[in-house]
Amino acid sequence: MDFIERLKDSVNTIPNLPIKCILGYLKPTESLVLYPLPGSKVVSQTYDGEKDQELNYEFAMKSKDQEQIQKVLWLIQTYLEELSELKSSDASFDFWKIEIANKPYISNEDEENYYIFILDVQASITTYKERK
């Protein structure tokens, strides 16, 4: 299932986004990442393997510039609030909606004066059993 990749790619189309989003952990220097969170669940399932799911994800940004982080995460939040379509490249899911679970907030400041801000979202999708 390619949902997280399509979400990342979609966010990277935001005009004037000064940093590209990648999948995985924050890097030692400035970075913007997307990764899954615990608590995702199957809401319903059919006998043919179709599943309605609620998936939790987190965008995290690390930078020494708090203003830049806030600008980026608010751009992403605004974009996601308007997102109505997200296509799978392998027909593994249908997208229904994405909700902002938590507005951008500061999470941490490390020993090198990098700030970390977080934006949590929950996506509602239908996934399909892999076709052979």
Q: What is the pLDDT of residues 70-104, one digit of tens each?
A: 999 999 999 999 999 999 999 999 999 999 999 99
Domain spans of the chain, in order of start: 3-118
Q: DSSP string covering 21-49, please?
A: EEESSPPSSSEEEEEE-TT-EEEEE-TTS
Quickly count: other Cβ atoms within 10 Å of residue 23's Cβ. Answer: 12
pLDDT band at 38 (very low <50, low <70, confident <90, very high): very high
Q: Give this prediction's pTM.
A: 0.93
* Mean per-residue pLDDT over the chain, rounded: 95
- The reported pLDDT for the residue numbered 131 is 59
Pick the CATH number of 3-118 from 3.40.190.80, 3.30.2000.30, 3.20.20.70, 3.40.50.150: 3.30.2000.30
Mean pLDDT of 40-56: 93
Angstrom distance (rounded) from CA 17 to CA 41: 31
Q: pLDDT (tens digit, 9 = 90+) per residue, 111-125?
A: 899 999 999 999 999
Residue 65 clears pLDDT 90, i.e. is over it:
yes
